[in-house]
């Protein structure tokens, strides 16, 4: 695994979303309605090249801890972007505060800054305080997720097609499997994703992604 984060690059299919990688880990930069940036899941090892690439995209005003496990880069990024506000879900706040000794704003503080095409989604049935981001663009529905799903570590194509589960997720991520499955079923019925941008592994792109995610969780019941 590389020791430092790569430069942030755009995803051609999605306006206002940029990603940088360190090995199989990913940090996602989300352009806010103001043109400023929110970094979703700051990955430890912020490099000069990553910081320089962000300068051309916008000012980093928010750092979003996407669950209570993804916390190792928060102090480093807080020092690099001292004016940026740290944000997390209410459920993630207690452990994050204990692990980092940092203070966090709620998602309600960040929510008004989101473009109309983006919304926060807090999955039911999980125990890590995870928050997803949904992005709607014409016929494209994208999910940005943390530990809930991942892509293969290696793929010969630009995008992978089959989502996977982290080995630790069923035990450490899910509190109630039936509640989570029912909630996920509802989300897929409302707007099934054709792209998933996970914090672990390859980006996923396929028309059957919603069905594939449901099969993974149904197998745990």
pLDDT at 117: 96
Write the pLDDT tens digit of every residue in 17-58: 999 999 999 999 999 999 999 999 999 999 999 999 999 999
Write the pLDDT tens digit of every residue in 91-106: 999 999 999 999 999 9
Going from the N-terminus, what domains does the chain have, and what CATH number goes with each?
A: 9-218 (3.60.15.10)
Q: What are the start-end ranges of the H helices in 132-219?
A: 169-172, 177-190, 209-218
Write the pLDDT tens digit of every residue in 192-211: 999 999 999 999 999 999 99
pTM, full prediction: 0.96
Say if CB 120 and CB 111 are below 8 A apart.
yes
How would you class 99 by CB atoms within 10 Å of its CB: exposed for 0-12, middle for 13-18, buried for 19 or more? middle
Beta bridge partner(s), residue 38: 30, 62
The two most distant CA atoms of the chain are separated, in Å, by 46
């Amino acid at each position: 695994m590389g020791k430092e984060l790569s430069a942030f690059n755009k995803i051609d299919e999605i306006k206002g979303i940029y990603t940088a990688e360190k090995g199989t880990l990913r940090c996602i930069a989300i352009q806010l309605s103001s043109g400023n940036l929110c970094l979703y899941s700051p990955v430890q090892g912020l490099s000069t090249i990553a910081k320089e690439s962000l300068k051309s995209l916008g000012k980093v005003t928010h750092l979003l801890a996407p669950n209570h496990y993804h916390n190792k880069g928060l102090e480093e990024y807080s020092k690099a972007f001292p004016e940026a506000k740290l944000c997390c879900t209410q459920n993630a706040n207690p452990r994050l505060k204990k692990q980092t000794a940092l203070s966090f704003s709620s998602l309600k503080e960040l929510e008004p800054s989101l473009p109309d095409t983006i919304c926060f989604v807090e999955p039911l049935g999980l125990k890590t305080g995870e928050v997803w981001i949904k992005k709607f663009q014409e016929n494209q529905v994208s999910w940005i997720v943390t530990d809930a799903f991942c892509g293969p570590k290696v793929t010969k194509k630009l995008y992978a097609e089959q989502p996977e589960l982290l080995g630790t997720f069923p035990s450490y991520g899910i509190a109630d499997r039936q509640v989570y499955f029912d909630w996920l079923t509802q989300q897929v019925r409302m707007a099934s994703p054709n792209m998933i941008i996970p914090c672990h592994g390859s980006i996923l792109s396929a028309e059957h992604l919603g069905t594939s995610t449901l099969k993974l969780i149904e197998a745990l019941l």
